Amino acid sequence: MADRKPPEDALSNLRRRVDAARGTDGSQNAPPPQSPASLALRYGGEFGAAVIVGALLGYGADYLLHSQPWGIVIGMGLGFAAGVVNVVRVAQSYSRSNPVDPNAPSIPDDEED
């Protein structure tokens, strides 16, 4: 106990060593692996929710404008489009957090060209 540092100093020193040992800046927060079933439910949920909301908004427009059945028809179509957008967003965020292994064998191209 030759060098008695003030406690704050010793604490930040400890924090630095702990972070170095962890190999991160302290924000190590690995998400738990997602099971394929929960991923499938997520995709389906995002798509279905958008279709339902699109149809409901279209129905609401019909109710206000007395334009049956065009609101629900167009709303459902837009809902499908929004659902595809949602699914693409989820898939993009999934691929970002689970990048493809660069050393993985590529799928052989069986096209005649």
Handedness of CA 54, 83, 35, 99 (dihedral sign): negative
The structure tokens listed for 46 are 């995002």
Give Cα separations from 4 to 11, 12, 18, 112 (angstroms). Answer: 12, 14, 20, 75
| Shortest distance (Å) from residue 34 CB to another protein | 8
- Binding pattern for the stretch 47-86 against another protein, x by CB under 8 A and - elsewhere: -xxx-xxx--x-----------------x--xx-xxx-xx
Quick one: 32 or 102, whose CB is closer to another protein? Answer: 32
- Which residues contact another protein (rule: CB under 8 A)? 7, 11, 27-29, 31-32, 34, 38, 41-42, 45-46, 48-50, 52-54, 57, 75, 78-79, 81-83, 85-86
